[in-house]
C-alpha cells in the first residue's frame, strides 16, 4: 500500500501550504479509474513515441487531434509521419486530468507528401449535408459531404462524378481532409431536375477516384435546385482568433441562417442578404500557437447548406 511522502505529527498546525502539499501528494498517488492522471511531457518526442506513451494502458489517456505547425491534419498512424517532432501539446505536461482525456499534439511539418495515407483505395461510409444531417438526397447546386476513408488531401486529386458528370466543385474538409469531401452537385446530370417542381432523379451514381486507380461508388437522389440556396464566396479575415469576429460574404443569407465553425454553432452578430458577421467559438483542443484549419458552413433550414471552399484557420488564445 502506498504511503504519503509527508509526515504530520500530533499537534502540528495544518497550514494552507501543508494542506496543498497533502492534496498534491494524494493526487500523485491516484492512478485508479476515477482518479486523476498526470499528462506526460511529450515535447521533442517523435510522433510514434508520443503516441505509444499516450496509449500506455496505465496512463488511461487518449490520443486526440494531431496537426502540423501549418495547421494541416496529420494521420498519427501513417508510417511517413512517425518521425515528426512534437512541438506542443494540450493539455500541457504535468497537468492532472480525468481518465480518458484526449491529448492533442502539434508536430513539425512533414517533409514527405502523403495526402492519401498508405495509398489505399477510397471507401464511402455515408453522405451528409454540409450541416451534418445524414441523408442521400441533395439538390442541384447544393453541397453534400462524402464521408469515408483514403480521400486525397489535395482537392484536384479527387475526381468526383454524378452519372459521369463532374462535380461542380470538390473540397477536402480542412479539419479531416482524407475522410471528408465537400462536394457541390453539378447541373447537367442527364435526367436530373432543372427547375423547381421537377421530379427528383434517384439512383444517381456518385463516384470518387483518387490516383491509386480504384474508385468508390455510392448512389444518391438528386432533387430540383433551390432558388434561395445560400452560397459562400469569401471569409475575412482568413485567420482569426477564438472570440473574434469574421465576415462571411455570399448570397441568399437570411436572419434564420446558422453558422457552424468546426461543427460548433457560432454566435451571429449581424446578417444581411450578402454578409454574415459571426464570432469564432472557443475550442478546448486549439491551443495558442499555430492556427488550425477549420470548416465553415452556413445553413438555412428549408434552403440548404453552403460550405466554404477555401481555407479558414482558427488561432487559439
**pLDDT at residue 162, rounded to an integer:** 94
**pLDDT at residue 74, rounded to an integer:** 80
**pLDDT at residue 119, rounded to an integer:** 64
Q: pLDDT averaged over consecutive 10-residue blocks of the chain (317 residues)?
A: 48 50 48 65 85 87 82 76 84 86 82 49 90 89 91 88 91 85 92 90 93 86 88 93 96 93 93 96 86 88 83 89
> What grid cell was written down for 33?
479509474
With CA atoms as reference, report the closest residue to 84 among 116, 108, 49: 108
How many CA atoms lie within 13 Å of 226's alpha carbon, on the beta-carbon side?
A: 18
DSSP annotation string for 147-199: EEE---SSGGG-EEEETTEEPSEEEE-TTSTTTEEEEEPPS--TT---STTPP
How many CA atoms lie within 13 Å of 228's alpha carbon, on the beta-carbon side?
A: 12
**pLDDT at residue 112, rounded to an integer:** 42
Amino acid at each position: 500500500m502506498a504511503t504519503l511522502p509527508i509526515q504530520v505529527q500530533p499537534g502540528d498546525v495544518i497550514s494552507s501550504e501543508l494542506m496543498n502539499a497533502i492534496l498534491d501528494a494524494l493526487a500523485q498517488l491516484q492512478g485508479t479509474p476515477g482518479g486523476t492522471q498526470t499528462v506526460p511531457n511529450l515535447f521533442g518526442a517523435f510522433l510514434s513515441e508520443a503516441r505509444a506513451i499516450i496509449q500506455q494502458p496505465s496512463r488511461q489517456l487518449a490520443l486526440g487531434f494531431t496537426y502540423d505547425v501549418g495547421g494541416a491534419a496529420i494521420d498519427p498512424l501513417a508510417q511517413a509521419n512517425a518521425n515528426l517532432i512534437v512541438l506542443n501539446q494540450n493539455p500541457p505536461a504535468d497537468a492532472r486530468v480525468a481518465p480518458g482525456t484526449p491529448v492533442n499534439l502539434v508536430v513539425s511539418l512533414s517533409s514527405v507528401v502523403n495526402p492519401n495515407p498508405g495509398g489505399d483505395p477510397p471507401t464511402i461510409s455515408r453522405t451528409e449535408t454540409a450541416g451534418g444531417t445524414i441523408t442521400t438526397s441533395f439538390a442541384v447546386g447544393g453541397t453534400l459531404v462524402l464521408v469515408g476513408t483514403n480521400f486525397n488531401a489535395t482537392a484536384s486529386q479527387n475526381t468526383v462524378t454524378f452519372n459521369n458528370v463532374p462535380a461542380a466543385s470538390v473540397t477536402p474538409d480542412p479539419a479531416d481532409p482524407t475522410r471528408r469531401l465537400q462536394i457541390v452537385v453539378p447541373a447537367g446530370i442527364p435526367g436530373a431536375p432543372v427547375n423547381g417542381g421537377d421530379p427528383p432523379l434517384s439512383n444517381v451514381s456518385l463516384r470518387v477516384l483518387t490516383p491509386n486507380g480504384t474508385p468508390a461508388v455510392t448512389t444518391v437522389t438528386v432533387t430540383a435546385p433551390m432558388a434561395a440556396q445560400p452560397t459562400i464566396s469569401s471569409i475575412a479575415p482568413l485567420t482569426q482568433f477564438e472570440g473574434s469576429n469574421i465576415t462571411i460574404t455570399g448570397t441568399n443569407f437570411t436572419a434564420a441562417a446558422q453558422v457552424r465553425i468546426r461543427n460548433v454553432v457560432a454566435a451571429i452578430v449581424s446578417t444581411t442578404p450578402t454578409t454574415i458577421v459571426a464570432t469564432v467559438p472557443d475550442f478546448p483542443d486549439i491551443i495558442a500557437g499555430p492556427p488550425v484549419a477549420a470548416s465553415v458552413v452556413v445553413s438555412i433550414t428549408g434552403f440548404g447548406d453552403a460550405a466554404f471552399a477555401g481555407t479558414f484557420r482558427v488561432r487559439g488564445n
